Amino acid sequence: MAGITALGTTYNLPNYTGILYLLTPSDTPFFSAIGGLTGGGQTTDTEFEWSEYDLRAAGQNVALEGQDAPTAQNRIRGQKKNVTQIHHETVGVSYTKRAATGRLGGLATAGGSNPVVDELDWQTELMLKQMVRDIEWSFVNGIYQLPADNLTARKTRGILAATTSNVVDAAAGVTATGTAAASTDLITLTAHGLANGDSIRFTSVGAATPLTTTDVYYVVASSANTFSVSLTKGGTAVNITVDGTVVWAKGVALTKTMVDALLMTVFNNGGIMQSETATIMVGAAQKLAITNAYVVAGYVTKEISTVGGVTVNRIETDFGILNVMLNRHMPADVVQVVSLEECRPVFLEVPGKGHMFEEPLAKTGAYDKNQLYGEVGLAYGNERKHGKIVNLKA
């Protein structure tokens, strides 16, 4: 069922009887685990910063008896920053719609009752859930944007984009290049070696609209020298509207060796040291792959636990017991390792209103209209304490 971008009336928001079910998942595990709407920190600027420092490499540093004081040494601090992004929505319902709770539309059971008793409150509740889902998506997938003026929106940097030091490429940098044709929606490369259902990610799409480098695609209609791509496995081919040269990497099946290599690098850089918050965050496909990789290798899958109120599985690894957090907003071809203690939401508090609030808009007609507003960004701490595996088979 689609939403509407209009004032809610008795004509476009029909009532029905019976139990009310939510069809869209509303879980936000990463945002919830690091503080949610009631935790985290505050800022007094749209940009917020944090400092970091390191220590010199450990060694057998010694001194002679009676020697003069050594040359002074000092450590330099570094700086990281992110921005808050604005989440701003409006809901509006006519007076008639708020009053006519007994008016039913479509198939209604005789004697039944409308489960929504206040349309405006219900729409406001749903809008807040949608906004929190948008925050979750941004904290995972957000691409940093700091504009110079108010012609472009600020965008917070998500954990995937923030993780740059500890990266394992499952495809080992191996890519292929072909040509995408708008007339046929086919990509051509002699003996491309791809089969239907294979996942690929484009590293360059040239002018081949609407293909992107941010989506995972699945091969469909594959032949020896051509194939199409779909955004869903076995789905409809993407309609390519402009010819272009494209470069892609084929997804490679996850192995325990890959995960161990990443965990070792993250551990060596100071991450996943706190077992309560050391977490592997994955989507559905990689959740299965992680479980299978560790069970086959004889490692024990541990009990279900909670972190920040979020239910997680726990697995035994060579680098300690780690949480496995299932997150439906994770890209299907990525595994993200997160030291959750490094992360928190940062809110820009509006004086007298709070950091995520609802308020009525001015009356201009026979309806009630409210706006919901908040500004929030992700503080991810020392990015060297996180890691990721990319270009996995989805």
pLDDT confidence of residue 107: 66
**Distances in whole angstroms, Cα of residue 50 to Cα of each of 35, 140, 345:** 18, 19, 13
Q: How far apart are CA 355 and CA 139, in angstroms?
A: 17
Class of domain 171-250: mainly beta
Got the DSSP string for 270-282? T-S-STTTEEEEE
- b/e 184-219 (16+ beta carbons within 10 angstroms → b): ebbbebeebebeeebbbbbbebbebeebeeeebbbb
Give the dihedral sign, CA 283/284/286/291.
Answer: positive
Residue span(s) of the chain under CATH 3.90.1690 come to: 24-52+75-170+252-394
Strand 335-339 and strand 387-390: the pairing is antiparallel
Question: What does CATH list as the number for 24-52+75-170+252-394?
Answer: 3.90.1690
Strand 344-348 and strand 41-43: the pairing is parallel
Its pTM stands at 0.92
Closest-CA residue to 34 (of 314, 285, 323) = 323
Element at 381 (helix H, strand E): none
Residue span(s) of the chain under CATH 2.40.30.180 come to: 171-250
pLDDT means per 10 residues, the chain with 394 residues, are 87 85 89 93 95 87 93 92 97 96 74 86 95 97 96 97 97 97 97 97 97 96 98 96 98 96 96 93 96 83 84 91 95 97 96 94 95 97 97 96
